[in-house]
Amino acid sequence: MITYIIRRILVSIPLLLGISILSFLIIQLAPGDPTSLFLDPNIKPEDREAFIEAYGLNDPVYIQYFHWLWQILHGNFGQSLIMHGIPVSELILGRLPNTLLLMVSSAVLAFIISIPFGVLSATKPYTLTDYTVTTASFIGVATPSFWIGLVLLMFFAVKFPIFPSGGVATLNAPFSIWDRLHHLILPAFVLAASDMAGLTRYTRSSMLDVLRQDYIRTARAKGFNSRKVVYKHGLRNALIPVVTIVGLIIPSFIGGAVVVENIFGWPGIGNLFLNAAFQRDYPVIMALTMISATLVVIGNLISDILYAIIDPRIEY
């Protein structure tokens, strides 16, 4: 197992390098540059040119790339073009914990809600319960997250002010875990909503498959109570395909987080990514792309390891 992990990590290095080259090229291909913000009659074209020269944006692409790579290898993510010299690492580190918190809570929420409902659906197939759960999950997948977010905001923050309307914590108030959780619930739920549907259905069909197996029948014949059969014997096996999704959910959250962060004013990297893309803040875009790529690689690795742990048939 250890050798497997090491091998995987070694393979991901050239993978990430390739991703960085590709991303760099694609970003350079996009029309526009950071000076498009300068469409101000008071800022003359000479000033714009001076800016471009000063930040090396006139150099050939490969020189810019190697310059960037050299910096990265020394742990320097460069400085933001738009935010005037603020180190990119500072910008990201200020926000990354918020996004990670959001992603992890959404993932946890999604699993906590989807799996029991999926199991419920599977143990009572084609009943009213099953149809209700299925319909609800389809609604979750069909409605865009910004709509869900705004509607929930309207209902639970304005009409019935149960939850705060945005932000990470109450302004000007001392730190409190409850306050943080209070602010976290709505955004985490909205982010989880679209994945909950898939997870529920997936759990359901996997469970249905498993419950039909012979060993389940044997377990029932042995006289185990229903709960033991379903959860100890059934679910553990049904979770195998579900676990593989874990690795794929993480990258999807990065994308979904952009919308949720926008609506709830959540200061995460999703927002930073969006602004940097529109303003052509190349160092920030590259740094965030590499972080996302790394997260995807790690996510897949975790997924495979979990797979090996859960399924005794698998051996690396």
Partner 1 sequence: MRAFRKWHRIIVFIFIVALVLSGCSQKNATTDTYKQTDETSGNTEKPKDGGNLIIGTSGSPTLFNPYYSEDTASSDIEGMIFNGLVTVDENLNPVGDLAKNWDISDDGLTYTFHLKDNVKWQDGQPFTADDVVFSYSIPMNKDYTGPRASDFEKIKEVKALDEHTVQVTLKQPFAPFLTSTAGYGILPKHLLQDVPIKELDKASFNTKQPIGTGPYKFVEWKDGQYVKLEANKDYFEGRPHIDTVTIKFIPDANAILTQFQAGDIDYMALQSTDLATGEQLVKQGKAKIKTTPSLSYTFIGYNQLNPLFKDKKVRQALTHALDREKIIQAVMNGDGKIANTPGSPLEKWAYNPDVPTFDYDVDKAKKLLAEAGWKDTDGDGILDKNGKKFSFVIKTNQGNKVREQIAQVVQQMWKEVGIEAKPKIQEWSSFIKDVTAPTWNFDACILGWALGVDPDPSDIFSSKEIAQGLNFVHYKNPELDKLMAENTKITDREQRGEMIKEIQAGIAEDQPYTFLYYDNDHIMYNPKLQNVQQHPSIAYYKIEDWWIKQ
Answer positive or negative: Cα dihedral of 258, 261, 266, 272.
positive
Query: For residues 23 and 303, which CB has a smaller minimum distance to partner 1 in the complex?
Result: 23
Q: Could you say whether residue 300 binds partner 1 (CB under 8 A)?
A: no
The minimum distance between CB 134 and partner 1, in angstroms, equals 10
Query: For residues 129 and 244, which CB has a smaller minimum distance to partner 1 in the complex?
Result: 129
Q: Could you say whether residue 82 binds partner 1 (CB under 8 A)?
A: yes
The Cα-based distances of 309 to 10, 235, 304 in angstroms read: 21, 15, 9
Nearest to 136 by CA among 199, 205, 183, 185: 199
What are the tokens at 123?
């143990």
Of 15, 157, 216, 302, the residue at the interface with partner 1 (CB under 8 A) is 157
Of 74, 159, 212, 313, the residue at the interface with partner 1 (CB under 8 A) is 159
* Window of 90-98, 188-196, 202-210, 287-295 that interacts with partner 1 by CB under 8 A: 90-98
Of 11, 17, 47, 181, the residue at the interface with partner 1 (CB under 8 A) is 47
Q: Could you say whether residue 25 binds partner 1 (CB under 8 A)?
A: no
CB 276 within 8 A of CB 34: no
Q: Could you say whether residue 314 binds partner 1 (CB under 8 A)?
A: no
Query: For residues 148 and 211, which CB has a smaller minimum distance to partner 1 in the complex?
Result: 148
Q: Could you say whether residue 214 binds partner 1 (CB under 8 A)?
A: no
Q: What is the DSSP string of 55-115?
A: TTTTS-HHHHHHHHHHHHHTT---B-TTTTT-BHHHHHHHHHHHHHHHHHHHHHHHHHHHH
Cβ-defined contacts of 80-84 (< 8 Å, 24+): 80/276, 80/281, 80/283, 80/284, 81/34, 81/55, 81/279, 81/280, 81/281, 81/282, 81/283, 81/284, 82/34, 82/37, 82/275, 82/276, 82/279, 82/281, 82/284, 83/281
Of 11, 125, 275, 309, the residue at the interface with partner 1 (CB under 8 A) is 275
Q: Could you say whether residue 4 binds partner 1 (CB under 8 A)?
A: no
Q: Could you say whether residue 181 binds partner 1 (CB under 8 A)?
A: no
156 SS3 class: helix
CB 261 within 8 A of CB 99: yes
Q: Could you say whether residue 137 binds partner 1 (CB under 8 A)?
A: no
Query: For residues 38 and 65, which CB has a smaller minimum distance to partner 1 in the complex?
Result: 38
Q: Could you say whether residue 264 binds partner 1 (CB under 8 A)?
A: yes
Interface residues toward partner 1, by CB under 8 A? 30-33, 36-48, 50-51, 54, 79, 82-86, 91, 94-95, 128, 131-132, 135, 139, 146, 150-151, 153-154, 157-159, 161, 164-168, 171-172, 261-265, 267-268, 271-272, 274-275, 278-280
